[in-house]
Amino acid sequence: MNVLISEVAGPARWGQFNLKLAWVPTFFGASLGAVHSIHLAQIDANGNFLANHHMPEIYKPNSSNWAFEIPGASALTFPGKHKRPILILSQTAAGYYPFELVMPSETPYNAVAAFLAANRQTPLREMARCIVDRSMIPANRFGLHF
């Protein structure tokens, strides 16, 4: 199973996760132009399940990005562009993705940011992102709960 680790942009679109369409088939298994929905399972910093969120999604042929609102993010203050929040999405069953939003004030942030920097798959002018096999992340290395 794969894990998508990504910085989150802001503050103008804080709470909205944007992903270039080229990444969507790789991680979400969706075809461009097709109706595709995902289920996000929100996990908090203590490993508690918070809620399931169904995200219906339709690709727009005139857009180069795919976007969805990150559940719970709007209740938080964007920390600034020098230490961006990091979203971690884990693949499980088809269409089901547990996720954690790691804020700079949280304990695992520095370890997650260092891992992302070392495994970055995007140009420096874009948000740092990577898709890695779950086995690359030792169990509980970050203190995460997915």
103 belongs to a structural domain:
yes
Cβ contact 50:39 at 8 Å: no
**The whole model's pTM is what?**
0.86
Structural domain includes residue 59: yes
Say what the pLDDT of residue 65 is.
Answer: 75
Q: Is residue 146 part of a domain?
A: no
Quote the CA–CA distance of 40 and 37 in Å, as a whole number: 10
Q: Rounded mean pLDDT of 2-26? A: 85
Tokens of 26: 């790789």
What is the tens place of the pLDDT at every residue in 46-100?
A: 777 777 777 665 455 566 777 777 888 888 899 987 899 999 988 886 677 888 8
Residue 64 lies in a domain: yes
Asked if residue 144 is part of any domain, the answer here is no
What is the rounded distance in angstroms from the CA atom of residue 96 to the CA atom of residue 52? 9
What is the SS3 assignment for 27-69?
HHCCCCCCEEEEEEEEECCCCCEEEEEEEEEECCCCCCEEEEE
Average predicted confidence (pLDDT) for the chain: 81
Whole domain around residue 43: which residue ranges? 2-136
Over 90: is that where the pLDDT of 34 sits? Answer: no
CATH number of the domain where residue 129 is located: 2.40.330
Q: Which residue has the higher pLDDT, 140 or 87?
A: 87
C-alpha dihedral (102, 107, 112, 118), degrees to nearest 10 = 140
Within 8 A by CB and 6+ apart from 64, the residues are: 20, 21
Number of domains making up the chain: 1
Whole-angstrom Cα distance, residue 99 to residue 86?
Answer: 10
Q: pLDDT value at position 40? A: 82
